């Protein structure tokens, strides 16, 4: 009879083989967004569909189920929260979920979303939802089919999709925490509006040559800790991070000569994701202990480096002289205080990835509402633009002028990533908890940033978040690291402290 260790070794080998094949698909997916000529879309869709089916076959191999059962029923003790315990728990969860999905559905989802993303890029450029609509209908139909195959309780099909990105999270719980956060954000936004102060936004829309932006953004990413010996950065229609595997992490961003924050903070955001990927244990690749615990925790890292660090006064005390030297025409006559106010301007805007910290979560809540309706069938794809604009008007008091600044702005739906959006707002809340604890443990972070010292925070995140992989579920990880349960309060406190000062509230 095989020992526990022998069974476990065999399971790990199976999981790693599956992950290795999946990483091949990830590389093709990255190439699709960065280098693929339009004429190759159909062939790429077929390649990715085949790989998706093969990966699914490996992931649902009956031997994995047998190994899991034997290990779960083994008489040898398993220490709670040990790598073995975490890998068994999460491998069981992934196996049970995967075996509910037919291979044909997995392959079709991959094929359709590959073509859909190419169609989205073209439609977004022309701001033509009608051109993209046939693809959106196919994606939504497939995601509804996926939700039914996985199953859900309480009549909420969205739970089945949310669980893929934020394991164990329930739609009703997210709705509750979002409602409380929304009330606080609406109040803060109203106070900022009534303050009468408006930063000079012409500062960030002057000419910032793209080549200079590339060098400056890359240098900032290196400064905070992204390792370009194990990663790279390229251009894509929508910024993303792809962790291909140990030693290979790909970032993308997009540049606009007349909008400095877009590429710069997009690069910091994706670098935060990238440092999580680079901070995972390479020896654990393919196993749950070598993967991020949830997308919300992943987003906590990107949002922390983008906002808590990158939009802080201390960060720019260190970096602003170099920014002025790099962009003399745009910044030579601009004070640090005026630049800092401009990059932290709070006002309703159309584009989520360019939104300020106060209104950003409202963008997420809008998408969260619409996704639930799309999956339940209460909203059909052909009505998305109308309902989007109506909801946007209700949330922000402005109406998108066209689809590219409205319902066509994000790549997520074309990629089949329904259930993903809530993790951004959850990530903001997780980030505030972690940042608060890091400052307690490390001392005055602002003083460190002003000196250009980002290593202590990165190391703290490596040790407390990244290297733990899926050792703890997201909610438990917050409790273990901070001693607190997830709450909107640390985020609201963080925002209040910052914007009370900027706007004199």
The answer to whether 286 and 15 are in contact (CB under 8 A) is yes
| Sign of the CA dihedral with 123 first, then 126, 128, and 131 last | negative
What is the DSSP annotation of 219-278? HHHHHHT--TTSEEEEE-SS--EEEEETTEEEEEE---TT-HHHHHHHHHHHHHHHHHHH
Spatial distance between the Cα atoms of 171 and 157, rounded to a whole number of angstroms: 9
Spatial distance between the Cα atoms of 194 and 468, rounded to a whole number of angstroms: 44
Which residues does residue 253 pair with via DSSP β-bridges, in sequence order?
A: 235
Residues with Cβ < 8 Å from 367, sequence gap 6 or more? 352, 410, 412, 421
Spatial distance between the Cα atoms of 451 and 241, rounded to a whole number of angstroms: 28
Q: Is 270 a catalytic residue?
A: yes
Spatial distance between the Cα atoms of 71 and 198, rounded to a whole number of angstroms: 61
In the chain, the N- to C-terminal Cα span, in Å, equals: 70
State the catalytic residue, choosing from 270, 306, 369, 385. 270
Spatial distance between the Cα atoms of 138 and 278, rounded to a whole number of angstroms: 35
- No. of helices (H) and no. of strands (E), the chain: 21, 3
Residues with Cβ < 8 Å from 490, sequence gap 6 or more? 429, 432, 433, 435, 436, 484
What is the DSSP annotation of 400-419? -SSGGGTTTS-STTTTT-TT
| Sign of the CA dihedral with 221 first, then 222, 228, and 234 last | positive
Looking up tokens 């099909």 gives 157
Residues with Cβ < 8 Å from 472, sequence gap 6 or more? 81, 86, 293, 480
Task: Name the residues annotated as catalytic.
Answer: 270
């Amino acid at each position: 009879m095989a020992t526990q260790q022998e069974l476990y070794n065999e399971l790990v080998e199976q999981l790693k083989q599956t992950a290795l094949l999946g990483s091949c698909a990830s590389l093709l997916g990255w190439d699709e967004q960065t280098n693929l000529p339009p004429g190759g879309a159909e062939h790429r869709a077929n390649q990715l569909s085949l790989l998706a089916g093969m990966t699914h076959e490996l992931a649902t191999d009956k031997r994995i189920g047998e190994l899991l059962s034997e290990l779960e029923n083994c008489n040898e003790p398993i220490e709670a929260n040990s790598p073995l315990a975490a890998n068994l728990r999460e491998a069981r969860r992934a196996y049970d979920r995967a075996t509910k999905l037919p291979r044909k559905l997995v392959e079709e989802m991959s094929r359709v979303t590959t073509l859909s993303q190419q169609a989205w890029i073209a439609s977004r450029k022309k701001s033509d939802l009608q051109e993209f609509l046939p693809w959106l209908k196919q994606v939504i139909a497939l995601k509804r089919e996926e939700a039914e195959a996985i199953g859900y309780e309480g009549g909420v099909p969205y739970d089945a999709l949310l669980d893929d990105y934020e394991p164990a999270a329930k739609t009703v719980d997210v709705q509750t925490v979002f409602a409380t956060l929304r009330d606080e954000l609406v109040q803060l936004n109203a106070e900022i509006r009534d303050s009468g102060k408006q930063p000079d936004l012409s500062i960030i829309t002057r000419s910032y040559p793209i080549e200079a932006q590339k060098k400056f953004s890359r240098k900032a990413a290196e400064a905070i800790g992204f390792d370009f010996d194990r990663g790279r950065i390229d251009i894509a229609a929508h910024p993303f991070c792809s962790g291909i595997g140990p030693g290979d992490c790909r970032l993308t961003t997009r540049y606009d000569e007349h909008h400095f924050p877009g590429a710069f903070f997009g690069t910091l955001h994706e670098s935060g994701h990238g440092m999580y990927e680079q901070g995972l244990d390479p020896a654990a690749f393919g196993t749950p202990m070598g993967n991020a615990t949830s997308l919300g925790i992943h987003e906590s890292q990107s949002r922390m480096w983008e906002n808590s660090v990158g939009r802080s006064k201390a960060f720019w005390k260190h970096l602003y002289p170099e920014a002025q030297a790099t962009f003399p025409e745009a910044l030579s006559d601009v004070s640090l205080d005026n630049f800092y106010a401009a990059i932290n301007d709070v006002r309703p805007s159309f584009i989520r990835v360019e939104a300020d910290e106060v209104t950003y979560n409202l963008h997420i809540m809008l998408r969260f509402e619409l996704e639930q309706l799309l999956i339940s069938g209460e909203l059909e794809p052909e009505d998305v633009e109308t309902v989007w604009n109506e909801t946007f008007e209700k949330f922000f008091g402005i109406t998108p002028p066209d689809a590219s600044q409205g319902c066509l702005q994000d790549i997520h739906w074309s990629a089949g990533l329904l259930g993903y959006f809530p993790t951004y707002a959850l990530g903001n809340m997780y980030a505030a908890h972690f940042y608060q604890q890091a400052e307690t443990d490390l001392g005055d972070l602002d003083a460190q940033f002003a000196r250009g010292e980002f290593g202590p925070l990165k190391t703290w995140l490596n040790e407390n978040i990244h290297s733990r992989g899926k050792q703890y579920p997201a909610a438990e990880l917050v409790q273990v690291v901070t001693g607190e349960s997830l709450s909107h309060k640390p985020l609201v406190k963080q925002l209040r402290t910052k914007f009370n000062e900027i706007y004199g509230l």
